[in-house]
């Protein structure tokens, strides 16, 4: 998982996330995704890990391409802006 993240996710983040911004990566609780080494690999990219409920990926997988991907990018940007508001960190 770490190898994949460094080879594929890191270049994607570098291309699509503005300098100084952070991002979030949704995971479905696979052993490799819940490991501490993967968590720290993501954090080295300024990327947070969000664990979805177990067996939930089948609900989100159809959105992984095309228009759904674009929607995820817009949602991610809005969420990042929301996190910039100090009061929201207490929620």
Per-residue pLDDT tens for 54-76?
877 666 666 566 667 777 888 88
Q: Which two tokens stand for residue 20?
A: 């100084």
Q: Which two tokens stand for residue 62?
A: 């159809």
Q: Which two tokens stand for residue 85?
A: 């508001």
> What domain count does the chain have?
1
Q: Are 16 and 72 in contact (CB under 8 A)?
A: no
Q: What is the DSSP letter of 7?
A: I
The whole-angstrom separation of Cα 72 and Cα 42 is 18
Supply the pLDDT for residue 76: 87
pLDDT in tens, 14-57: 888 888 889 988 888 888 999 999 999 999 999 999 888 887 76
Supply the pLDDT for residue 49: 92
Range of the domain at 71: 2-90
Q: What is the DSSP letter of 10?
A: H
């Amino acid at each position: 998982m770490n190898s994949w993240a460094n080879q594929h996710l890191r270049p994607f983040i570098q291309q699509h996330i503005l300098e100084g911004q952070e991002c979030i990566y949704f995971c479905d609780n696979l052993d490799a995704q819940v490991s501490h080494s993967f968590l720290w690999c993501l954090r080295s990219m300024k990327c947070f890990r969000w664990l979805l409920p177990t067996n939930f990926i089948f609900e989100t997988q159809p959105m992984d391409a095309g228009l759904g991907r674009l929607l995820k990018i817009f949602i991610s940007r809005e969420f990042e802006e929301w996190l910039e508001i100090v009061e929201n960190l207490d929620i």
